[in-house]
Structure 1
């Protein structure tokens, strides 16, 4: 890659007198092409990939040349996502799955492996949120969020780990939340599930290190998705789903010698 960059810069320098920006533009284009080449043909599994953050992640990974298997519970959303991404053809695998159902998760992972042949990346993105103050939290309210936000990532990770260990390579990216770093009024059950996801990420990272498996957590604030339409922040001031997708792409293009434990993403102006 170093030789390629040197040659590209030498070429662009020859033309930079007419366009002072051409050197940077040329290096940027080369870097983007290198990213595409490094991910081309690899396989990613994305939970909750039919809308919001998951759909944005799926799109950017497909654009990078990856094969992507997505799952979700809402069959109508899955059909819409499949239609929206039809240009990627057989590189996209779609299946209806409830991530809180362990047998369904195992079936999805096996079906994806049968189609794609391997698994390089797991993005645990599927999540739900219900706001309530502590005294109003019901068992159903708590179980619903723990099942999807914590058991789901656990089941998916358990299902892919044997294959990643056999390959001696893999990356698990958990989409957590700032609520996995701090508790806020009304977020008790949601925060508990996301704090649990952060602990799961830490344990997975420790256990996977010996097998060349990386684990990172992304912790965003409010992201403009249907899940937060009742938030006290206008949608047009929220983090974009594409910001999270770009962060996933950034993580996947780190060298094998670099590792990032977690990334916290806040809205502009927030501390």
Structure 2
């Protein structure tokens, strides 16, 4: 099985990549930092020396780079069974206090990149009559967070895009799942003195996605909501 994951060197993306490597899946991975990609490659090969890997330095806010990554992935693997749109931008600010370019920056990474990859890869899945797309949304897709205005707007847009993907591909046997995590212990929380026990862990998201992948052909999880047991941090 061939899996494409964006934003794979940190947080949830890295946890998902490690989980999939441990279960012997082939991986196409991208991130902006080449050194971090090289480090991740070593970790993955240590887990599974025989894994088929494609790692491409990609800025998911740049349309041409996302398109090139998709094209390289298709050329290498010929087919993609699972697409995981994980890369995301989070720059907290009230809308009235941020520069106008912040909405565009959030949109390019959080919405346009998944849109491009969907248009590249979904037709291949439809032709095969199977496949699964996971879009890493956020509780910000559902809740209003005033101090993360553009992030909320674009994550809500991603959830809407996710729902359109599901309805478009449903007749062709393709599954689409919105993953909606609450406060998750990623680099966004570096420097925080909040206990790790108060967060969802990236590994929780990774294991949940893998479990959903094991469901029968006729079952789809429309939304996976994972929140901290004690409430949002």
- Residue 233 of structure 1: how far off its partner (Å): 4.2
Contact 1:229 1:235 survives alignment (8 Å): no
| Partner SS, residue 61 of structure 1 | helix
Q: Distance in 2 between matches of 1:232 and 1:184?
A: 21
- Residue 166 of structure 1: how far off its partner (Å): 1.5
Unpaired runs of at least 5, structure 2: none
Unpaired runs of at least 5, structure 1: 1-41
- Residue 185 of structure 1: how far off its partner (Å): 2.2
- More helix, by proportion: 1
Aligned length: 230
Name the counterpart of 1:182.
143
User: In the TM superposition, what whole-angstrom CA distance separates every residue of 1:1-40 from its partner, at most 9, and x where no partner exists?
Assistant: xxxxxxxxxxxxxxxxxxxxxxxxxxxxxxxxxxxxxxxx
| Partner SS, residue 214 of structure 1 | strand
Q: 52, 74, 83: which one pairs with 2:33?
A: 74
- Residue 85 of structure 1: how far off its partner (Å): 1.4
- Residue 159 of structure 1: how far off its partner (Å): 1.2
Q: Distance in 1 between matches of 2:188 and 2:89?
A: 7
- Residue 146 of structure 1: how far off its partner (Å): 1.1
| Partner SS, residue 184 of structure 2 | coil
- Residue 231 of structure 1: how far off its partner (Å): 6.1
Contact 1:219 1:265 survives alignment (8 Å): yes
Name the counterpart of 2:188.
227
2:210 paired with 1:252:
no
User: Aligned ranges for residues 10-89 of structure 1 at < 5 Å?
Assistant: 42-87=1-46, 88-89=48-49
TM-score (norm 1): 0.80
| Partner SS, residue 132 of structure 1 | coil
TM-score (norm 2): 0.93
Contact 1:128 1:227 survives alignment (8 Å): no
Name the counterpart of 2:132.
171
Name the counterpart of 1:119.
80
Bigger relative CO (Cα 8 Å, ≥ 6 apart): 2
Q: Are the structure 2 counterparts of residues 247 and 203 from structure 1 closer, same or farther at C-alpha, using a change threshold of 3 Å?
A: same
Q: Distance in 1 between matches of 2:40 and 2:83?
A: 19
Q: Is the radius of gyration larger for structure 1 or structure 2?
A: 1
